[in-house]
């Protein structure tokens, strides 16, 4: 996934779309908006980041899971098998992005990149509703895909690369 930081206006449509699409319980969210303000008054600049699970290449959450409930599905999407999850919280502690939470039913829940939609060839809910089209979704393993070209052509950054998780959401400057 790639997100153009300068196009994002922080409307949080992605958050609401996700909550509705995935039936996320009230008071919880799988994605969220982070507001960054830098500079000293009056010279200030602000940008928004729509954040969610980074579906890392090197997954600390999957590594620490004692039951194998957390796993990397084919295509690189990190998922949780609810009925294998004991709710120990190891993956929540392991995630530097705090992308996981306890569902009120006890198991751990997180962003799935709307894999049910992706399987049908659709974009994830958050991407599909973005009014400024700042989000792009595609196959990063394919060097000829639109998203791979976009990431290659633009200056970008990832979140907390120093944690060593090789995050797979790229923020385009």
Query: Residues in the site for other proteins, rule: CB under 8 A?
Result: 12, 15-16, 19, 26-29, 32-33, 60, 63-69, 83-90, 92-98, 101-102, 105-108, 159-160, 162-165
Give the shortest CB-115-to-other proteins separation in angstroms.
Answer: 22
Partner residues linked to 49 by β-bridges: 34
In terms of CB distance, is 32 or 148 closer to other proteins? 32
Please tell me the distance from the alpha carbon of residue 13 to that of residue 165, in angstroms, as a whole number.
Answer: 27
Residue 114 CA to residue 52 CA, distance in Å, equals 12
Q: How far is the CB of 12 from other proteins (least distance, A)?
A: 3
Using CA atoms, how far apart are residues 145 and 124, in angstroms rounded to an integer? 17
19 vs 148 by CB, closer to other proteins: 19
Residue 61 Cβ, how far from other proteins at the closest point, in Å? 9
Closest approach of other proteins to the CB of residue 80, in Å:
11
CA distance 79 to 111: 8
Residue 142: CB minimum distance to other proteins, A: 28
- Kindly report the number of other CB atoms within 10 A of residue 139's CB atom: 14
Strands in the chain per DSSP E: 2-4, 32-40, 43-51, 70-72, 78-80, 101-102, 108-109, 135-136, 156-157, 170-172
Output 101 or 118, the one with its CB closest to other proteins.
Answer: 101
Instruction: With beta carbons less than 8 A apart as the criterion, state whether 88 and 102 touch.
Output: no
Which C-beta is closer to other proteins: that of 39 or that of 143? 39
Using the minimum distance from each CB to other proteins, give the nearer residue, 7 or 102: 102
ω before 42 within 30° of 0 (cis)? yes
């Amino acid at each position: 996934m790639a997100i153009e930081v300068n196009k994002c206006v922080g409307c949080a449509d992605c958050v609401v779309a996700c909550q509705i699409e995935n039936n996320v319980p009230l008071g919880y969210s799988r994605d969220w908006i982070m507001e960054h303000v830098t500079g000293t008054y009056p010279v200030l600049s602000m940008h928004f980041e729509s954040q969610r699970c980074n579906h890392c290449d090197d997954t600390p959450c999957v590594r620490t899971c004692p039951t194998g409930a957390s796993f990397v599905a084919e295509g690189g999407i990190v998922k949780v098998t609810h009925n294998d999850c004991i709710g120990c919280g190891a993956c929540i502690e392991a995630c530097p992005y705090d992308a996981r939470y306890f569902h009120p039913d006890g198991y751990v829940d997180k962003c799935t990149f709307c894999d049910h939609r992706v399987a049908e060839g659709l974009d994830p809910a958050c991407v599909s509703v973005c009014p400024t089209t700042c989000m792009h979704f595609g196959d990063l393993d394919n060097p000829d895909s639109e998203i791979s070209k976009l990431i290659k052509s633009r200056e970008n950054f990832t979140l907390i690369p120093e944690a060593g998780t090789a995050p797979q959401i790229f923020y385009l400057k």
